[in-house]
Structure formats: structure tokens, C-alpha cells
């Protein structure tokens, strides 16, 4: 067993070492994996720079972890590549099953893996001893499933790599991917017993993009999915997501780091002023952070690398150990001056101090670079740009560049946290760079088609019945969920914790949901995070109220017409 476990760990390791952007800030920042790492109690530095530890922790968290889940319960199903045209063929989609807590007659709970290889999700949540999902399985005597999304992990209609022809991505659309789980559900049997949605109620769970999928699937396939828990689910597609950093700013202020946020603005303003001068001044400021070997990098690529300091925020808040924002703030100003220390020591000195933060070089170099000759390798390369070679990142980049938007440029203005070179144009250029020629061939839109996406899904106006929505107060993604309180969000939505009647949609100005105080992204996943108890319990109470009304009869399909026209202010 031990040796098998080791082999298995190594397999996981190779899967996890690749970088994956997921729903996150800059390409390569490992959104999903950081989320899992924070739930598993790993510090931010380890999570970022030793991702194999995430795999090990996920593996160790399951009881009887020496019996690899891959062995015992992985399954494959042939799925049509094109749900509208069977002649295109099929591919194998991967999923995992747990019957450990199943009581005959119980429901089927499916946790969606979203924009990542789902194996560590299955390991940590389907069997883990400290798993919110296992708690739900136990409480309801449910069968547990983890579903891997098409084009991620091993669920590949086509191989995904840097040479994948662009037209192979044409089946990576929200509509095609949403149809997969209902197709699978209709065919699901266990030991020859029908456990399709005709025979058992299916409930979908997801956080982040999977949370969107949980809500959309209930909305569009109510015959298949009876109820959903949509956690931190930014269902509104939007090109301009500068609001992301506004939330980071608010979170920093609420945690007592308002002075530090001012300092970080002073630093990026200073860096911008040097870049604006061009010539020697621009070379010098790049050289301060990257060494001479780094001065050829564009202002966008250079300042994007510095922006990596915020990557932990959505999963750790200002914490996260030596790599977290609070550690950086302490490095900049040990006295945590409420006005920031820049007015005292000056922006230039402060910028130099910033450049000496130990973690920064790790952030800039990641796994592939050797800026400032930090890794002692003979090769000094410092090329911060370039497309990502990680398959999951490639697939997610396709998805956000075509349909979702979410371009996280600087929140220009008094709360700005990034360089002004982190513009929407720069973020958009990453789409073109990742898929060369795709814009010209018309396969990649000039901008993400968010209007079409919202017209198709209903965006944040949808109110499917039997759905509970949660998000953290300072979750950068809350801003595009129906729990958004931003000035650009629908006005006058009343958030209620009164459980609606089974099968009854609330009016558009009422939402069954909960904003978790002080929390960030997907904190419902973390059982140790007590303020999320209320959110988890609300869904459990709601399910207890709704499940008895399940009859196995088919409900009428909802139309997916967007109900109101909303204002957009996309770039």
C-alpha cells in the first residue's frame, strides 16, 4: 500500500505543479489550489511555491488515505462533445463517487470541480475528515459525487496544450458544459439501480465558477437539479472587473491595514512616475526589482508581476503567513502608521524597501524565471510575459476571454492598489497573447461577449427556486453575485434568510442568501471558519424543508430570458 500511495502522490504532484489561474488575479496564480490550501490549513508561501504540499495535504486529509480515491471510486462516462450534434463524437469525462454515507432512498449530492483538475477536490472533500461536503453527505445520507468539468484535468474532448488548434475550443462554452451534468445524471446508476433524477433528488454544490454552475443548472435544468448551494458565485459576466481591487482595499481597511493600502498606492504611483519618464528612469525602476536582465519586460508584464502580492487575499484575507499582505505591511511599516509611512520617509525610499521584501523575488520568479540571479542557476532568464503552458490555465483563459470577462485591472482613483499599467487593455491583450491568431480568425472575440453570456444565463437577475446564495463580505467576487451591493448592481435587492417555499421562486427584488461578515472567497468550504456556520446551516435547514416536496416528477423548464436590461460600462 505504501508504495502505491507514493506513486499516487507523485502522480498528483505532477498534476498540481503546473500553474493554474482559475478564478484569480493574474495568470498563474493558482486560484483553486490556493482555496484548497487555505482550507487545508497550509500557509500562503507553501501553497504558492510548493504546490505538491497541497496534494499531500489533500491526500492525508482522507481517512484510509492509503487507499487512493483514484483506485476506489473514479469513474468515466462517455459524453457527447457537442450536445447539439452527436456526429461530432464523444469524450470520456471523469467523476468520483462516494457511497460511504449513503442510506438507501437518500439524495445525490454533486460537488462541481469547475476550472481545475478535480482530483484533489475529490480527495479532500469526498472523503476528508474535515470536509463540509462530507458533513452534508452524512447529515442527509447522500451519495457524494465530484464532477470534473470538460477541458480540465483528464476530461478532455481534445488534448489541451500550446499547440491546440483554436477551433478545438469551440465546445468549451457555458452552454455545452452546463449540459454535461444533466446528461450524466440521467444515466447514473449504482449497482444497476437507477439513481437518475427520476429516482432520487439531485443537489448541486459549488463555490466560485462551480457556484455559478450550481445556480445555472438549477435554473436551466430543474428536472435534473432539485436544489443548489451557490457559494461566492459571480453569475454576472462583466468585462470590467476593476472592482476586484476595490474589495481588496476595503478588506485591508477593515482589517486595520488602511495605512498600508495608502503606502502601496504611494509605491505604485512612484513606480508609474518612473516608467512614465521612459529611458534610464524606467530601466532603473525595472532593474531595482528585476535586475538588469529584466529591463526588457513591458510595463504591463513588470507591474503584473508586482501585483502578485495580492494573490493570496481572496483565500486568506490579509493573513497567509510570511507571504501574506499583513507580513508585507509589517515589512513596510512596523508601526502600522494609520496614514501610511510614505509621507514620513518618502515614496522613493518606501519603494526601495518594498523591493527588499524577501517574498517578492519568489513572486516575480515563480518557477520559471531567474530575475536578479536569485536561484543560482547558470541561466539568467527574466521573461515575465508569454502564454501559459498549463492546460487548466489555457482552458480557463479561453473561458474568461470568450464569455465571462472579469478583467481585473487597477481600481484607478484614491484607493488604487496597482500600477495604472494594469489597464483593461493590458488584461485584454493577455487573451490575444494566449491564443495567437484566434482574434484574426474570428474564433476569439475582440472582447469577452459578456452581453451574450448574460442574455443566455440571465446573469444576476436569475432567481431559480430551491437555491441558496452565499458570499463573503470582502470577497472580491461578491461584487458580481446577486449579493452584490455595488453601485452598478441591481438596486433594492433585499437579502433574506427566510427559507422560501419549496419550488417557489422569489421575486427579483428578494434573494434567499447570506453575506458572511468579514469573510472572503468561498469560506463556506472551511469548517474551521466559524462565521460560515450560519451559511452552511441555512442551506441544510433549507434542504430539510425542500427535500420532502421532491416527487420525482418533472417540473416545467424555465425560460432563460433575461428579465431586465441592465447598464453596462465595459471597456
Ligand X SMILES: *[C@@H]1O[C@H](CO)[C@@H](O)[C@H](O)[C@H]1NC(C)=O
The cell 430543474 sits on which residue?
222
The three grid cell numbers given for residue 124, joined into one nine-digit string: 479532500
Find the shortest distance in angstroms from Cβ 371 to ligand X.
12
By rule CB under 6 A, what count of residues binds ligand X?
30
Q: Which of residues 207-246 bind ligand X (CB under 6 A)?
A: 240, 242-243
3-state secondary structure of 205: strand
- CB-based contact 213:204 (threshold 8 Å): yes
Report the nearest approach of ligand X to the CB of residue 58 (Å). 24
> Measured between alpha carbons, how far is 42 from 467 in angstroms, rounded to an integer?
31
Burial of 2: CB neighbours in 10 Å, binned 0-12, 13-18, 19+: exposed
User: What is the nearest approach in angstroms of ligand X to the Cβ of residue 33?
Assistant: 21
Check binding of 250 to ligand X (CB under 6 A): yes
Q: Which of 78, 190, 281, 549 binds ligand X (CB under 6 A)?
A: 190
Interface with ligand X, residue 87, by CB under 6 A: no
Element (H, E) at 116: none
Q: From residue 484 to residue 503, what is the string marking binding to ligand X with x (rule CB under 6 A)?
A: -xxx----------------
Q: Does 3 bind ligand X (CB under 6 A)?
A: no
Please name the residue that has the C-alpha cell 474570428. 442
Q: How far is the CB of 323 from ligand X (least distance, A)?
A: 16
Least distance in Å: CB of 22 to ligand X?
21
Residues paired with residue 152 on neighbouring β-strands, in sequence order: 155
- The nearest distance, CB 398 to ligand X, in angstroms, is 14
Query: Which one among 164, 299, 311, 355 touches ligand X, defined by CB under 6 A?
Result: 164
- C-beta of 49 vs 183, nearer to ligand X: 49
- 276 Cβ partners below 8 Å, 6+ apart? 282
The whole-angstrom separation of Cα 532 and Cα 516 is 6
For ligand X, give the closer residue by CB, 93 or 164: 164
* Residue number with the smallest Cβ distance to ligand X: 334
Q: Which is nearer to ligand X, 105 or 334 (CB)?
A: 334
State yes or no: residue 155 binds ligand X (CB under 6 A).
Answer: no
- Scan for cell 515589512, then name that residue: 331
Residues between 507 and 546 that touch ligand X (CB under 6 A)? none
Residue 167 half-sphere exposure, CB side, CA atoms within 13 Å?
3
Residues 6+ positions from 362 with CB-CB distance below 8 Å? 45, 48, 49, 323
d(CA 132, CA 138): 10
For residue 383, give the C-alpha cell: 521573461
Q: Which of 50, 130, 166, 375 binds ligand X (CB under 6 A)?
A: 375
> Is 335 an interacting residue with respect to ligand X (CB under 6 A)?
yes
568 binds ligand X (CB under 6 A): yes
Number of Cβ within 10 Å of residue 287's Cβ equals 17
Q: Does 351 bind ligand X (CB under 6 A)?
A: no
Query: Would you count residue 424 as binding ligand X (CB under 6 A)?
Result: yes
φ/ψ of 90, rounded to 5, equals -130, 165
Considering the complex, state which of residue 100 and residue 223 has its C-beta at the smaller distance from ligand X. Answer: 100
Judged on CB neighbours under 10 Å (0-12, 13-18, 19+), 36 is buried
Question: With respect to ligand X, which residue has the nearer C-beta, 231 or 424?
Answer: 424
Choices 220-228, 308-316, 368-376, 426-434; region in contact with ligand X by CB under 6 A = 368-376
Q: Where are the beta strands (DSSP E) in 99-243?
A: 108-112, 143-147, 189-190, 193-194, 202-207, 227-231, 238-240
Which of 14, 92, 161, 441 contacts ligand X by CB under 6 A?
161
C-beta of 278 vs 563, nearer to ligand X: 563
Residue pair 38/47 in contact (Cβ under 8 Å)? The answer is yes
Write the burial class of residue 530 (CB in 10 Å: 0-12 exposed, 13-18 middle, 19+ buried).
exposed
- Work out whether 159 is an interface residue with ligand X (CB under 6 A): yes
Binding site for ligand X (CB under 6 A): 99, 102, 158-159, 161, 163-164, 190-191, 240, 242-243, 250, 334-335, 374-376, 424, 447, 451, 473, 485-487, 565, 568-571
Amino acid at each position: 500500500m505504501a508504495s502505491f500511495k507514493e506513486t499516487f502522490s507523485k502522480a498528483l504532484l505532477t498534476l498540481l505543479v503546473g500553474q493554474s489561474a482559475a478564478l484569480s488575479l493574474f495568470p498563474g496564480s493558482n486560484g483553486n489550489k490556493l482555496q484548497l490550501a487555505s482550507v487545508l490549513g497550509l500557509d500562503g508561501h507553501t501553497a504558492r511555491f510548493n504546490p505538491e504540499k497541497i496534494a499531500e495535504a489533500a491526500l492525508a486529509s482522507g481517512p484510509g488515505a492509503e487507499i487512493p480515491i483514484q483506485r476506489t471510486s473514479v469513474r468515466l462516462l462517455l459524453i457527447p462533445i457537442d450536445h447539439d450534434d452527436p456526429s461530432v463524437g464523444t469524450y470520456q469525462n471523469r467523476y468520483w463517487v462516494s457511497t460511504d454515507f449513503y442510506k438507501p432512498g437518500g439524495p445525490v449530492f454533486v460537488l462541481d470541480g469547475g476550472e481545475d483538475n478535480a482530483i484533489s477536490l475529490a480527495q479532500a472533500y469526498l472523503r476528508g475528515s474535515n470536509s463540509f461536503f462530507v458533513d452534508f453527505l452524512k447529515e442527509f445520507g447522500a451519495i457524494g459525487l465530484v464532477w470534473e468539468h470538460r477541458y480540465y484535468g483528464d476530461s478532455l474532448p481534445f488534448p489541451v496544450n500550446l499547440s491546440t488548434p483554436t477551433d478545438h475550443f469551440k465546445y468549451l462554452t457555458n452552454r455545452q458544459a452546463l449540459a454535461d451534468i444533466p446528461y450524466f445524471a440521467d444515466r447514473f446508476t449504482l449497482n444497476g439501480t437507477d439513481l437518475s433524477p427520476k429516482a432520487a433528488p439531485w443537489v448541486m454544490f459549488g463555490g466560485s465558477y462551480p457556484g455559478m454552475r450550481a445556480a445555472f443548472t438549477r435554473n436551466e435544468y430543474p428536472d435534473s437539479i432539485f436544489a443548489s448551494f451557490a457559494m461566492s458565485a459571480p453569475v454576472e459576466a462583466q468585462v470590467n472587473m476593476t472592482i476586484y481591487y476595490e474589495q481588496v482595499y476595503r478588506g485591508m481597511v477593515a482589517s486595520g491595514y488602511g495605512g498600508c493600502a495608502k503606502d502601496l498606492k504611494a509605491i505604485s504611483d512612484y513606480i508609474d512616475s518612473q516608467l512614465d519618464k521612459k529611458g534610464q528612469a524606467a530601466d532603473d525602476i525595472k532593474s531595482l526589482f528585476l535586475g538588469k536582465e529584466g529591463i526588457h519586460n513591458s510595463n504591463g508584464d513588470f507591474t503584473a508581476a508586482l501585483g502578485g502580492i495580492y494573490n493570496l487575499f481572496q483565500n486568506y484575507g490579509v493573513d497567509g503567513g510570511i507571504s501574506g499582505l499583513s507580513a508585507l505591511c509589517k515589512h513596510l511599516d512596523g508601526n502600522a502608521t494609520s496614514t501610511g509611512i510614505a509621507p514620513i520617509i518618502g515614496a522613493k525610499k518606501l519603494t526601495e524597501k518594498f523591493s527588499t521584501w524577501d517574498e517578492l523575488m519568489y513572486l516575480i520568479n515563480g518557477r520559471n524565471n531567474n530575475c536578479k540571479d536569485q536561484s543560482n542557476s547558470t541561466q539568467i532568464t527574466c521573461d515575465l510575459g508569454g502564454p501559459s503552458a498549463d492546460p487548466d490555465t489555457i482552458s480557463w483563459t479561453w473561458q474568461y476571454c470568450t464569455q465571462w470577462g472579469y478583467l481585473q485591472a487597477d481600481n484607478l482613483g484614491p484607493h488604487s492598489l496597482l500600477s495604472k499599467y494594469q489597464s483593461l487593455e493590458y488584461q485584454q491583450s493577455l487573451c490575444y497573447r494566449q491564443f495567437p491568431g484566434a482574434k484574426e480568425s474570428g474564433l476569439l472575440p475582440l472582447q469577452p461577449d459578456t452581453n451574450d453570456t448574460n442574455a443566455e444565463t440571465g446573469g444576476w437577475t436569475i432567481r431559480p427556486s430551491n437555491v441558496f446564495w452565499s458570499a463573503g463580505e470582502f470577497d472580491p467576487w461578491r461584487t458580481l453575485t446577486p449579493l452584490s451591493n455595488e453601485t452598478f448592481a441591481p438596486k433594492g435587492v433585499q437579502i433574506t434568510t427566510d427559507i422560501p417555499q419549496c419550488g417557489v421562486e422569489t421575486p427579483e427584488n428578494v434573494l434567499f442568501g447570506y453575506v458572511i461578515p468579514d469573510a472572503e472567497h468561498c469560506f463556506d468550504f472551511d469548517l474551521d471558519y466559524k462565521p460560515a456556520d450560519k451559511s452552511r446551516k441555512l442551506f441544510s435547514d433549507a434542504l430539510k424543508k425542500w427535500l420532502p416536496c421532491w416527487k420525482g416528477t418533472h417540473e416545467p423548464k424555465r425560460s432563460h430570458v433575461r428579465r431586465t436590461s441592465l447598464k453596462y460600462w465595459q471597456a
